[in-house]
Amino acid sequence: MIYFDHNATTPIDERVVEAMLPYLRGLYGNPSSLYRLGRIARSAIDTAREQVAALVDAPASQILFTSGGTEADALALACGRGRRVWMSAIEHPAVFENVLRQAGLYREINNLGVTSAGLFAPETLDELKPDAGDFISLMLANNETGVIQDVAGLVERAESFGAIVHTDAVQALGKMPVSFRRLGVQLMSLSSHKIYGPKGCGALVWHENVRLQPLQFGGDQEQGLRAGTENVAAIVGFGKAAELARLELEQRQARLLTLRSRLEQQLKTIPGLVIFAEQAKRLPNTVQFGIPGVNGEMLLMQLDQKNIAVSSGSACASGSEQISPVLAAMGVEAQLAKSAIRVSLGKDNSETEIDQFIDALKALLVKSGDNSL
């Protein structure tokens, strides 16, 4: 099978599995227990915290483990309750659904628009003039287009207004350098399964000057901010995946860029094909394109029959006929947006797979001459 959907999830790295296994077998202690078995689990969590902290250049004490990126976003957004919230029009549903479905908890909700290249321009804040204490959410890299936002530029301006900034760095992590310190945000969301770690694990990185609002209550785990016995094996796996991502980042980035250039060069030989946000700074693994007159969902299913996995937008939107809100926010015409296919490459993909994908795509498009797409 050719797997080209790494922004949806990544296959777990074998080295990560090896690191996790002891905690699924003999080392089953509860990290809150005082005897040796408990202390071993506690120490494994501490190590994982250091590993994740090292990947994002943050103090380990400011990493809070969660059940994934969605919970990290929810915890971050809880800090915006009672405040005026500004969120970009291209946020993941884990951000925008969380805010919109609990609209009553926020003083006011505002949208931050993006350009046709999918970029939010930080200078627009000067006109919008957020109040002190307002809450802004802008993702670091978009899951569909791969466009990388100028979050540091936003923070610089937001600081002058006294606003709090959250960034969802779930897609950026492991694909580009991510420094919590240099970005200057107060809150940052991470997820393990996008970096070859296990599913159901993530983290919120937070600055000491924000007061986190727990979403669940019970035990004193995670400094009393996230009650519930820790998922030790998954946290260990996330830590290992973070360590590998840090050590291999440069090599992975270079490899992905080589693969993506090959893919884009060949895609561009297809008449009419448009690469969305082509000119913007994008993640090295992501290409989203549209082909006029083609139905993206149908094309996805036909590629699936050839054992090739791609996405027609964000995984959450797949299966519905709605057009991608991200492409809509960029002003992409509805018909072209419906043809969108996202290819997101991974560290283990090869040149041969790119060539096979292009051959399969071209063959299907020729067939579509007789309206099969």
Only segment of 38-46, 167-175, 254-262, 319-327 that touches ligand PLP (CB under 6 A): 167-175
* Residue nearer to ligand PLP on the CB measure, 139 or 323: 139
Q: How far is the CB of 108 from ligand PLP (least distance, A)?
A: 23
Shortest approach of ligand PLP to residue 54 CB, angstroms? 20
Binding-site member from 143, 231, 344, 349 for ligand PLP (CB under 6 A): 143
Q: Which one, 168 or 230, has the nearer CB to ligand PLP?
A: 168
- Among the listed residues 100, 316, 363, 366, the single catalytic one is 316
In the structure encoding, which two tokens stand for residue 114, read together?
A: 């993006």
Residue with tokens 């659904």: 97
At its nearest, how many Å lie between ligand PLP and the CB of residue 273? 24
94 interacts with ligand PLP by CB under 6 A: yes
Contact between 168 and ligand PLP by CB under 6 A: the answer reads yes
Orientation angle between helical segments 69-78 and 93-100, nearest 10 degrees: 40
Window 272 to 311, contacts with ligand PLP (CB under 6 A): none
The three-state (H, E, C) secondary structure of the chain, written as one string: CEECECCCCCCCCHHHHHHHHHHHCCCCCCCCCCCHHHHHHHHHHHHHHHHHHHHHCCCHHHEEEECCHHHHHHHHHHCCCCCEEEEECCCCHHHHHHHHCCHHHCCEEEEECCCCCCCCCHHHHHHHCCCCCCEEECCCECCCCCEECCHHHHHHHHHHHCCEEEEECCCCCCCCCCCHHHHCCCEEEEECCCCCCCCCCEEEEECCCCCCCCCCCCCCCHHHCCCCCCCHHHHHHHHHHHHHHHHHHHHHHHHHHHHHHHHHHHHCCCCCCEECCCCCCECCCEEEEECCCCCHHHHHHHHHHCCEECECCCHHHCCCCCCCHHHHHCCCCHHHHCCCEEEECCCCCCHHHHHHHHHHHHHHHHHHHHCCC
Residue from 98, 137, 191, 311 binding ligand PLP (CB under 6 A): 191
In the bound complex, what is the minimum distance in angstroms from residue 269's beta carbon to ligand PLP?
A: 30
The arrangement of strands across the sheet holding 274-275 comes to 274-275, 286-290, 341-344
Catalytic status, residue 201: no
Nearer to ligand PLP by Cβ, of 74 and 158: the residue is: 74
φ, ψ (nearest 5 deg) of residue 164:
-95, 140
Task: Identify the residue among 202, 239, 284, 296 touching ligand PLP (CB under 6 A).
Answer: 202
Judged by beta carbon, residue 234 or residue 273, the one nearer ligand PLP is 234
Give least dist CB 8 to ligand PLP, A: 6
- Cβ distance to ligand PLP smaller for residue 56 or 170: 170
Name the residue nearer to ligand PLP (CB basis): 166 or 193.
193
Nearer to ligand PLP, 92 or 282 (CB): 92
Among 44, 147, 170, 299, binds ligand PLP (CB under 6 A): 170
* Cβ–Cβ < 8 Å for 313, 298: no
Binders of ligand PLP among residues 18 to 77 (CB under 6 A) are 68-70, 73
Distance separating alpha carbons of residues 211 and 188, to the nearest angstrom = 14
Residues that bind ligand PLP (rule: CB under 6 A) add up to a total of: 14
Is residue 171 close enough to count as binding ligand PLP by CB under 6 A? yes
The structure tokens listed for 20 are: 């996790």
CB of 338 to ligand PLP, least distance (A): 21
The residue range among 57-65, 164-172, 173-181, 268-276 that interacts with ligand PLP, by the rule CB under 6 A, is 164-172
Instruction: Write down the least CB distance from residue 136 to ligand PLP, Å.
Output: 16
Q: Please select the residue that binds ligand PLP; options are 42, 83, 92, 166, rule is CB under 6 A.
A: 92
CB 165 within 8 A of CB 136: yes
Nearer to ligand PLP, 167 or 186 (CB): 167
Residue nearest to ligand PLP (CB): 69
Nearest in space to 133 (alpha carbons), one of 71, 211, 225, 214: 211
Catalytic residue numbers, as ranges: 316
Q: Which residues bind ligand PLP (CB under 6 A)?
A: 68-70, 73, 92, 94, 139, 143, 168, 170-171, 191, 193, 202
